[in-house]
Amino acid sequence: MSPMRKTDRRGFLKGGLSLGALSLLTGCDLTDNEPAQRLLWNMSWWNDRAQGWLFNPNRLAPTYPESAVDRVFRYNAFYPEDQAPVLDPVTYRLELSGAIGDKRAWTVDRLYQLPQTSQITRHVCVEGWSRIGKWSGCPLRIFLERVGADLTKKYVGFICADGYYTSIDMPSALHPQTIMAFSFADQVLPRKFGYPMKIRIPTKLGFKNPKFVVALSVTDDYPGGFWEDYGYNWFSGS
Amino acid sequence: MVSVTQMRRAWPIVLPPLVVRITHWLNALAIFVMIGSGWRIYNWEPLFGFTFPVWMTFGGWPEVSQHWHNEEGLAGALQWHFAAMWLLVANLLIYIGYGLTSGHFRRTLMPIGPREIMRDLRAALGGSLVHNVGERNAVQKALYIGVITVIVLTVLSGLSIWKPVQFQELTAVFGGYDAARYVHFFCMAAIVLFVVVHVTLTALVPKVLPPMITGRSRRWR
C-alpha cells in the first residue's frame, strides 16, 4: 500500500525515526500516555484474536476464470516503482532462521524447482481497492515441511530486500492457497511485484503479502511487521 | 371511518424503556464513530469523484497520524472503525433482541401499512399531523423500520468487505467484494439522511427529546 501519496515517503521514515529518537531522549512515550491510543491498540489486539477464531483453515478463497484477471495490475508499495530493489538471481539467497531443521539458504534455482500450483484470486488492499491476478508457486506448507519447520510454532516472519517485513499466524501459513509465488500472469515474477519471490496469501489483505522475500523465520516470538508496528491490524485476514 | 385522532387515542402511549434509551444513545455514539472513520477510509480509495473533508472524519489529524502511523490517517480510521463495530453490533443485537422479545417493536412499530403511511404523509405535508410524546405516526414507524433495516444491511455489507473469504457467500449476496463497497456506501448515505431528518424533527419538536433521556414526560405523568 502507499499511504503517503502526496509527500515524500522516505522523508517521513526519517521524520518518524527522529520523532522516535526524541521521545526516547525526553523519556516521554506518547503511546503509553494516550488513553485513546491504548484503547485502539487493545481493540486491534482483540480483533487479531477474533479473526484467528473466524479463520477456517479449510476455507478456500474464491477463485476466478482467466477472463476475470485484471490485465493491468496495480503497483503498490511505500516507494515508487522505479525504486523497487533489483535482486540478482545469482547472488540471491533465501535465509532461514528460527525453529527450522535445515537452515541452509535457498537459491533461486532450487526454489523454482519446488512443486508449483497456480491460483487466480482477488488481491484486496487495506485501502479498499481490489484486483484479480494469477500467481504460481510452491505452497508455503510444502516448503515448511521440506525444511523441517516446527509447525507448532505461532508465527512465520518474512524479511524483504526493500526493508519491508511482516509476519503471519501459522494456520494461515499452512493454508493450501498460501504460496511462495515465483510467477505472475504466467511470467516470471516481475521486479515490481517482488522478483524473485513473494508470499501470496489470498486469505489476507495485500500488505500481508510480502515481496522480495530474502529471509524467513519460524518462531513463537511475535515478529510484528512494517505497517503492523505503525498500528495496522496484524492479522488482517480476508 | 375512524378519524386520525380517534385512532391515535386508541394506541397506548409508549415511552422509551431504559434498555431502549441506553441502546439508542450507544447506537448514536457507535454510528457517529463508524461514519466518521468510514469517511476517512473512503477518502483513501473514493468510489466517486469526491472525498470528505478531513475535519469531518475520525482518524486523527494528518500530522498526528504521521507520528503514530507513518501515514496521513488510514490506520487510525481503521482502528476506530474496527473498534466501534463491536459496540455497534453488540448494541444492535441487544436492541433487536429486546424489541422482538419484549413486544416493544409490536407496540411501537406496529400496525403499519402503505395506507397508513400515505395518510400520515399527506397529513404531515399538509401540516395537520398532530405529534405527541410517546406516539409514532405511520411515517415515523416506516422510517424507524427502514433505518433499522438499513443498519442491519450496513453491518452485513461491512462484514462482506471485511471478510470476503470467510463470509464469501454473504459477499456474493451483495454482488461480490467491489459491489459490496457500493452497498456499504449507500447504506451509510441512507443512515446520514435519516439522521438529518431525525435530528431536524427533534429540533422542531424539542419536547420529544427529554423522554429519550429520562424516560419521562410531563404529559405521561
Question: Which pLDDT value is given to residue B208?
Answer: 80
The helix-helix angle for B177-204 and B138-162 (nearest 10°) equals 150
CA–CA separation, A220 vs A174, rounded Å?
Answer: 16
The answer to whether A50 and B82 have CB atoms below 8 angstroms apart is no
Most confident region among B110-124, B167-181, B197-211 by mean pLDDT: B167-181
Question: Which pLDDT value is given to residue B12?
Answer: 52
- Tell whether B76 lies on the interface with A, counting CB pairs under 8 A: yes
pTM: 0.85
- Tell whether B83 lies on the interface with A, counting CB pairs under 8 A: yes
Q: What is the CA radius of gyration of chain A?
A: 18
- Tell whether A105 lies on the interface with B, counting CB pairs under 8 A: no
Provide CB contacts within 8 A for A24, sequence distance 6+: none
Question: Which pLDDT value is given to residue B6?
Answer: 47
Question: Which pLDDT value is given to residue A10?
Answer: 38
Interchain CB distance below 8 Å, B70 and A12: yes
Q: Is the backbone of residue A73 left (phi > 0), alpha (psi -120 to 50) or beta?
A: beta
The answer to whether A156 and A139 have CB atoms below 8 angstroms apart is no
Using CA atoms, how far residue A136 sits from A1, A142, A167, B93, in Å, is 22, 14, 21, 43
Residue-wise pLDDT tens digits, B10-40: 445 667 888 999 999 999 999 999 999 999 9
CA–CA separation, A199 vs A202, rounded Å?
Answer: 10
Phi/psi for B138 (5° steps) reads: -65, -35
- Tell whether B67 lies on the interface with A, counting CB pairs under 8 A: yes
Q: What residues of chain A lie within 8 A of the CB of B42, using their CB?
A: 128
ipTM: 0.83
Q: Is the pLDDT of residue A7 over 70?
A: no
Give the pLDDT mean for B70-81: 88
Give the pLDDT mean for A109-128: 96
Of residues A70 and B120, the one with the higher pLDDT is A70
Interchain CB distance below 8 Å, A233 and B82: yes
The grid coordinates of residue B207 equal 419536547
Q: For chains A and B, count residue pairs whose Cβ atoms are closer than 8 Å.
A: 98
Which of these ranges, A51-60, A83-92, B70-79, B107-116, has the smallest mean pLDDT? Answer: B107-116
**In terms of CA atoms, which chain A residue is nearest residue B69?**
A230
DSSP-based three-state secondary structure for B110? coil
- Tell whether B3 lies on the interface with A, counting CB pairs under 8 A: no
Question: Which pLDDT value is given to residue A69?
Answer: 94
The grid coordinates of residue B76 equal 487510525
| Percent above pLDDT 70 for chain A | 86
Q: Is the pLDDT of residue B114 over 70?
A: yes
Which of these ranges, A9-23, A55-69, B54-68, B207-221, has the smallest mean pLDDT? Answer: A9-23
- Tell whether A124 lies on the interface with B, counting CB pairs under 8 A: yes
Question: Which pLDDT value is given to residue A5?
Answer: 39
The answer to whether A140 and A76 have CB atoms below 8 angstroms apart is no
Residue-wise pLDDT tens digits, A131-182: 999 999 999 999 999 999 999 999 999 999 999 999 999 999 999 999 999 9
The answer to whether B48 and B69 have CB atoms below 8 angstroms apart is no
Question: Which pLDDT value is given to residue A80?
Answer: 92
Of residues A115 and A6, the one with the higher pLDDT is A115
Residue among A126, A128, A230 minimizing CB distance to B181: A128
Q: What residues of chain A lie within 8 A of the CB of B181, using their CB?
A: 128
Give the pLDDT mean for B124-140: 73
- Tell whether A30 lies on the interface with B, counting CB pairs under 8 A: yes
Strand partners, A124: A130
Q: Is the pLDDT of residue B8 over 90?
A: no
Question: Which pLDDT value is given to residue B183?
Answer: 98
CA–CA separation, B28 vs B34, rounded Å?
Answer: 10
Q: What residues of chain A lie within 8 A of the CB of B66, using their CB?
A: 12, 15-16
Residue among A4, A126, A237 minimizing CB distance to B72: A4
Of residues A100 and B117, the one with the higher pLDDT is A100
Of residues B5 and A190, the one with the higher pLDDT is A190
Question: Which pLDDT value is given to residue B132?
Answer: 65
Tell me how close the Cα of B47 comes to any Cα of chain A, in angstroms: 10
Interchain CB distance below 8 Å, A230 and B66: no
Residue among B41, B44, B75 minimizing CB distance to A231: B75
A212 CA to centre of own chain:
10
Give the pLDDT mean for A217-222: 97
| Percent above pLDDT 90 for chain A | 81
